[in-house]
Structure formats: C-alpha cells, structure tokens
Structure 1
Amino acid sequence: MTSTSGSRSVPASRGVAFEDALHSAAEIAARSPSSHNCQPWAVGWPTGTLARRAAAALLGRPTAGEGRPAGRDDGEFLVLALDRERRLSALPAHGTEMLLSCGAYGQILTRALAAQGWPADGVRFLDPAPGGHGPADGAPGRIFGDRWPDAWVPLCVVRLRRGHASARDLDELRGTVRARHTNRGPYDVAGIDPAVLAGLPTARPGPPSLLTGTEHGPEVTVRHVVADAERAAVADLVSRHGGRDFSHRLAWTETYSFVRRDEAEAAARGDGFSLGQLFGPLSPPRRFGMRIALAPPTMRILRHVGYHRILARQLAAVVRHSPAVVALCFGQEEPGAGSVVRGGAVLADYWLEATRAGLALHPVSVLLQHDDVRAELERRLGLPGRAFFVSRLGRAVSAFPPSQRLAAPRALRRV
C-alpha cells in the first residue's frame, strides 16, 4: 500500500472511500505510544477472497468475497497484528508492553476511521496463547492467505460499516494525537484539581472503536496517586529498583539500540528516541558524553561504582516532585492477550483525555518490568488488581520534542 497524498483526501462530512480513510487514519495512529518508540503494530486489510472469508468467519458474519465495489453490504475488515520484527523481547514483561502498544494503536486507528464514516460494528479478539501475556511464536496469520507476513501475529479482527462522518471529530482527534507525547521534564508541583482527575475517564464517549461491544469498564481500573505518602512510596521503589534498567545487560543493550545520537538521526530512523527526548536540551559536548556514558560496555563498568543507582535516584526525584502518579490495573492477575490488547485501547483513551486536559505523562515502566517490584508496588498502594501502566502525571513546565515516527504505510498491507 502506498501513502495517500493530500490532494486525494476528502472532507469527512462528505464521506471518504475506505482506502483513503484507512491511509488518513494510519497517519494519525502512527503517533500512538509504544515502549522505546519501537512501533510494533501492523494492520492487514483483507481484500482477497480467502482473507475476507477468514475475517468474516472469525466474526461470525457471512461475506460475499472479492470483487464487489467499496461500500458493499458486508463492509470492510481489518486485522490488527503484532509485528515480531519490531517487538522488544529482552524481558518477559515486554510481551505485555508490546500488546498494549498494539491496542493503543488499534484504538486510535478505529477512532479515526469512525470519524471518517467507517465505524466498527464488530470486534473479535484473538488469543494465540490463552492465559499468557503474548502470542506464541507460530504463524497463526496463515488463515488469511499467502500474502499475510510470517512475522505478523493477528490480535483482533474488526469489521467496519458505512456510518456518519464528522470532520470536526476527525480534526479534534488529529490535533489531540499530535499534542500527545511523553514529557520527561519536571511538572508543576501544584496539585491537580480533583475535578480534573475525576474527569479523566478510561474511555471517552464517542464513535464505535476497538472497544465496541466490550464491557471494558470493570476490567480496567484507574487509580490516581496524589497523597504525599503514597507518591513518596512510589519514588522510594524507583530509587531502590530503577537501576535495573541500566544494570540488566540484555535489557539495556536492547534499550540503547533505540537511543539516537540526535534529532537528525531520529528523523532518519523514524523510531527510538534522541538524547534530547530523554534528558531535554543538551549541548553537543554533553550529548557526546551521555552517549559514551550510556553505551552498554560503559554501563557494564560503571555499574560497579553505582552509576545505575545514581540514574535511578534522579528518576525517583522527578517522580517524588510530580503532583500525581496514575496506575492502570487489570482485574485479572493473568490476563490473556485479548484482555491486554483491550487494556492498550483503554490506555490510549486515557492518555488522549489527559492531553485534552492539558496534562502530560511520563511512564515509569521499570516498576512493572519485574514481578517482585510490581507486586510490591501493588501492595504498598493497595491497587485493585495487576498494574500494567504506571506514569507520572502533571502539567509540564518545559517542552520536550515529540519522538519521530516511521512512515504510516509501512504498517499496512493488503491480504
């Protein structure tokens, strides 16, 4: 599939052909959050007879097959997938993070399609590894035919039908998604108005999306941590355990592979993050020094003198001085892949709503990447279930540049 030029776009109020709508939606969804900005998502568009029949069968819907014009009564199908060639794999917890990233992308994609007159009217989540945190390493996508890439693991099938389009909703979504990005700088220490926090639902009422037909509310709960003692407890855990990211050889080697020298390299690569996105504006000499200090061979030496603990204490300090921490939790201790993907969709809705409220987020993933640390976090905060997202929350006092993105069409393929 190729990119759609601006000249081909059609105002949403007039309705949009599905292919044009899909390309526009992918441009918006490409800015979805993902761990290390690895962007592990993929989307198959079933257009062949075999692929359409397979998608329809999974949804329990009949289909007439290939060759009928756009707008056909049986609608269009999409298959959200995990691209194994772009996933993180150094830690077991990365399996969950990858599915969350795909779910967030799928939610924004389907929100954008709905705004263009293509709402979801059926969703079937697939769970190749029931009871696990991620899909197995087989080739379950073969049911969609030979054009399905071997590296793609299908996560859910969505059917979309013609509906009402709203240019206003599309513009609002596009603007919010562009404004949303991780801000690792300091936040205003003033507390957040409780009414603002109460107004951050896990799913904004709106057109049908990836969560259509799912009772996701009780499955995912949101906890805002604002009390001084509780925020101090979170900061204490970061101080004691945050160094694991840097001292774990495989995990830090994988993380460092996504660190780009500068904005120019980040733009050329289209993924990862520059040192400026991690630490804010840096002079050329300091940027060079940080690259050397963070390189895996250097870290293996410096950890013996406690450098990883110094970095952990620095992160703990910004957590301690943030006005709030937010935790999203599953109701299940061992959620299946489908539940994790839905959790990612809920996370996308939450992050967009926080952005609309003028709030920034900075995930503190190290608290979730090791079971013993996560369990202690849940115990100390009295969380109602298994935490899958923990982040600083507040009003940023300095601007951080957004991360670069790969070209949107690379995630799309006709099957």
Structure 2
Amino acid sequence: MTSTSPSQSAPANRGVAFEDALQVAAEAAAYSPSSHNCQPWGVGWAIGAVARHAAAKLLGESVGHTAAGSGHTAQDDGEYLVLALDRERQLTALPSHEAEMLISCGAYGEVLLRSLATQGWPADRVRFVDPAPAAHRPKDGNTDRIFGGRWPDAWMPLCVVSLRHSDTSGDLAELSETLHARHTNRGPYRPDRIDPAVLARLSTSRPGPSLLRAGPEYDRTVIVRHVVADAERAAVADLVSRHGGRDFSHRLAWRETHSFIRHDEADAEAHGDGFTLGQLFGPLSPPRRFGMRIALAPRTMRILRHGGYHRILARQLAAMVRRSPAAVALCFDDETPDAEAVVRGGAVLADYWLEATRAGLVLHPVSVILQHDDVRAELEQRLGLPGRAFFVSRLGRAVTTFPPSHRLAASRALRVV
C-alpha cells in the first residue's frame, strides 16, 4: 500500500494510526477462507477527495472542505474503506462461482473489519453497492470509477464502510492466533459426538463491530443448520457419492480447479495461492505424489473419467462425510438472495469458522453438491433446509494435522484511492 503523509493518519494521541491499523488488519484478513484459495478480494482506502466524497455520498454523510491534495479535514477524522471483488482473481468456470466469490469477499471484509475494531477503529456504517451483472458490465470498467482514477479497473465495488476511532479495542493477538489456526482439514475426523451445547453456540454466535454489525441492526438472513443424525449424514454422503465426481468430469471446472494445484510447497509459496497435493490428500509418499499429479492432470482426467475414476474419487469423499460426526449447512432465508445478502453470508461464514476453530473444531467444505442447482435442490429437500444452501462442510475434531495454505502478500489487496 502506498504510504501516506501524517495528515492522512489518525493523530498520535488517538491510538493506533489508521494506516498502521489497516496494514495489520490486511495481514490478518489475508488468512480468510476463499474458494480454491483464490483470494478474490480487494479493499480501497478512500483518501482522495473524489473517493471520499463518493463514499460519503453513498453512506448519506457529508465531507467538509478538504485541504489541497487530500480528502481529509481537521474536523473529519473518520475513514472510508471500499470492499471489492478483484475480477482478475475470480473463478468463472461455473455460474455458482459468482456467488462463491462474493461469499469469499464477505469473509475477508468481516475479518478485516473485526481486526480494525480490535485496534480501536470499529466500523459504524456500511452501505452495499449493487454490482452490475457480468453480462451488462462494460469491459473498460468505467462504471466502477466513481471512486476516482486510482480505482483499479479489475475491481468491482461491493460495499462502502465508514470507521471512526474509538477508545475501545479488543484482543488482536487472540484473533490473529485463531486466524492462523483456522484452515481446511481434509483428513479423517474423530468419531466422538460434538457437544450439543457447542453446536448451539455456533448456531447463534454473532460478532462485535464488523461488516454484520455496522449501521442499522443486522436483519438475520442466514440460518445455521447442523447435521448430526445418522440418516441425515448418510443422505449428504449419498449425494456426494452420486454427484461428487462432477467437478472432475466437468472439463472447464476441472481445468480451473487444477490450475490452483501447486507442485510443491516452494511452488505454492511462489504463487501465494492455491493448494498443494499434501493439503488436498494429506501426507503422500514421493511415488504416490507423482502418480496423483499425473492422474489429476486435465488431459489424464479426460481419459480416466471414461473408466469411472471421477466416481471413485467421489466415493472416497462420501466415505469421509459419512464417518464425520457432523456436517453444517449455512442457508440464506431467501431463495434468490441479492448481492448484499450473499456478501453478508460470507461474513457469517467467517464468524462461524472462527468460532468453530476456537471450539477446537475443523471444517472441510463439500462445495461440489452446491455448485449445480439440481443437486443443491435435492440436498435442501432431503435435509429439510429452510432456505437456499450456500455452504456445506464436514465438521469435527481432527485426527491429523493438515498444513495451512499459502497466502498472497497482504499489500496486494490494498489500494489508496
């Protein structure tokens, strides 16, 4: 992120300067969950006069007369952030990926704002910007330039947040520790039943100042449903067994997924995204790693799928689901949620995953049964879900440790606008 002058940060007697707090928050938020670990988010810090006036107007606020070269005034010590989807990093192979990308951005925004709140910079208002449908979006991105000429062409704004300094802060170290402990664990889980009281807390947990709490009282639009009964878990496993091979057999979807599989740790670190075979399958011997690399290559998969290899992989995943002590489904209460509801859904997901991590639980999303409307509808019908499911995951206590995935530099997601 480009450095700013002292006049563009909070005064020294107001605690942590906003620029410093934002950098720390971005480093924490970089560990947010995202589909394929693609990290499709960005956040603009509105410093310029055009950007600040645009942000204030969207929020129904007013920005006073500004000093030359800056959007700040002596009387106005508030800050504005604009959460965005980075279209250069989004998944596009399936229609369902559009919602997945907004969910990923919502999770990032939630963690970012929660980290800022722990440093004395809580969000007090949020206004969502309805993104234009991809089919009607100009290629030059001019409709996104309401925040000035420094706004990246590839970024689609999702919401504007105002923040004001507060003497109240939180436990940044605890949040950071939880974020580093939170990651997908695709290994076996202990069969022990999860305490119903723990599940009840996870169903009702809500954060402090954040994307969900900024502004008017948040109207709950997400339902958390835990799947613990044997028959229900068997129903989920059956869907995975019958339909879990679609990702492998869908040419475009698998090519896109495979593009995020890294050869080894060094390759993953160099890219800063995606996942290694070890993160997908756990510890592998060198011969098996070599064999899996060949088997999963798109050209090989096109051949192997004729022999049913994709169904074998689906049955293996189904067995993991069946042996897990629980699953969790997050649902919108509306069958056709708008972009705001989807982004907020991502914030709820981040909140849930952090609370689950604090409870000593791990998750393994089973996204494939949500990425096709017919399978998702059958899941909702068989489980009696109260709305549109947008996240389904195994839930339990880990038997083995899986390595965390690598992340891009936090500064990549930050822009001064």
Does the alignment reach a TM-score above 0.5?
yes
Q: 1:230 to 1:23 in 2, by over 3 A?
A: same
Match of 1:145? 148
Contact 1:3 1:23 in 2 (8 A): no
C-alpha distance in structure 1 between counterparts of 2:25 and 2:192, whole Å? 37
CA contact (8 A) 2:193 2:325 kept: yes
Residue 252 to residue 71, structure 1, CA distance change in 2 (3 Å): farther
- After TM superposition, give the deviation of residue 217 of structure 1 in Å: 5.3
Q: State the partner residue of 2:7.
A: none
Partner of 2:320: 318
> Which of these residues, 377, 382, 405, is aligned with residue 407 of structure 2?
405
The residue type paired with residue 292 of structure 2 is M
> Pairwise mapping of residues 374-393 of structure 1 onto structure 2 (< 5 A)?
374-393=376-395
TM-superposed CA distance for 1:209, in Å, is 3.9
Give the secondary structure class of the aligned counterpart of 1:277. Answer: helix
Q: Against the structure 1 CA distance between its residues 282 and 210, is the aligned structure 2 distance closer, same or farther, given a 3 Å change threshold?
A: same
Match 1:354 to one of 348, 353, 356: 356
Please give the alpha-carbon distance, in whole angstroms, between the structure 1 residues aligned to 2:231 and 2:60. Answer: 51
Distance in structure 2 (CA, Å) of the matches to 1:227 and 1:27: 39
Matched residue of 2:202: which SS?
A: coil
Contact (CA 8 Å) 2:188, 2:320: kept in 1 or not? yes
Distance in 2 (alpha carbons) for counterparts of 1:13 and 1:176: 30
- TM normalised by structure 2 equals 0.93
Deviation, 1:72, is 4.8
Q: CA deviation at 1:213?
A: 2.9
Check if 1:162 corresponds to 2:152.
no
Write the letter of the residue equivalent to 2:61. Answer: R
- After superposition, what is the alpha-carbon deviation per residue over 1:127-171, rounded to whole angstroms, capped at 9, x for unaligned? 124xx7x796332321011111111000000000011243x5111
Shift of 1:199: 1.1
2:343 match: 341
Contact 1:202 1:349 in 2 (8 A): no
For the 8 Å contact 1:76–1:159, the answer to whether it is kept is: yes
1:14 deviates by: 7.5
Q: Secondary structure at the match of 2:157?
A: strand
CA contact (8 A) 2:203 2:225 kept: no
2:162 equivalent to 1:124: no
Give the structure 2 partner of residue 98 of structure 1. 101
Identity among equivalent positions (%) equals: 74
Q: What is residue 194 of structure 1 aligned with on the other side? A: 196
Compute the displacement of 1:126 (Å). 1.2
Q: In 2, are the aligned partners of 1:18 and 1:70 still within 8 Å (CA)?
A: no
Q: Counterparts in 2 of 1:297-316, with a 5 A limit?
A: 297-316=299-318
Deviations 1:187-232 (A, max 9, x none): 0011101011011145434234454235545310000000000000
User: Is 1:26 aligned with 2:26?
Assistant: yes
- After superposition, residues 16-415 of structure 1 pair within 5 angstroms as 16-64=16-64, 65=66, 67=70, 72-73=75-76, 75-129=78-132, 137-138=137-138, 139=141, 140-166=143-169, 169-201=171-203, 203-213=205-215, 215-216=217-218, 218-415=220-417
Q: Quote the Cα distance in structure 1 between the aligned partners of 2:211 and 2:15.
A: 18
Deviations 1:265-303 (A, max 9, x none): 101110000000000011122111111000000000000
Is the 2:369–2:376 Cα contact (8 Å) retained in structure 1?
yes
Query: Is the partner of 2:171 in helix, strand or coil?
Result: helix
Please, what is the CA RMSD of the aligned residues? 2.1
Unaligned stretches of 5+ in structure 1? 5-9
Consecutive unaligned residues in structure 2, runs of 5 or more: 5-9
- Rate the CA distance shift 1:72–1:162 in 2: closer, same or farther, 3 A: farther
Distance in 2 of aligned mates of 1:71 and 1:370: 53
Work out the CA distance in 2 between the residues paired with 1:387 and 1:3: 42
- 1:43 and 1:381, CA in 2 relative to 1: closer, same or farther beyond 3 A? same
Partners of 1:243 and 1:386 in 2: CA distance: 22
> In the aligned structure 2, how far is the partner of 1:99 from the partner of 1:274?
24
CA–CA distance in 2 between the matches of 1:14 and 1:274? 44
| Distance (Å, rounded) in 2 between the aligned partners of 1:3 and 1:397 | 45
Q: In the TM superposition, what whole-angstrom CA distance separates every residue of 1:343-364 from its partner, at most 9, and x where no partner exists?
A: 0001100100000000000000
Does the Cα contact within 8 Å between 2:227 and 2:326 map onto a contact in 1? Answer: yes
Contact 2:226 2:328 in 1 (8 A): yes
Q: Tell me, what secondary structure is at the counterpart of 2:295?
A: helix
2:42 match: secondary structure:
strand
| Aligned counterpart, 1:7 | none
Conservation of the 8 A alpha-carbon contact between 1:202 and 1:346: no
Alpha carbons 1:359, 1:396 under 8 Å: kept: yes
Deviations 1:355-387 (A, max 9, x none): 000000000000110000000000000000000
- The whole-number CA distance in structure 1 between the counterparts of 2:74 and 2:259 is 44
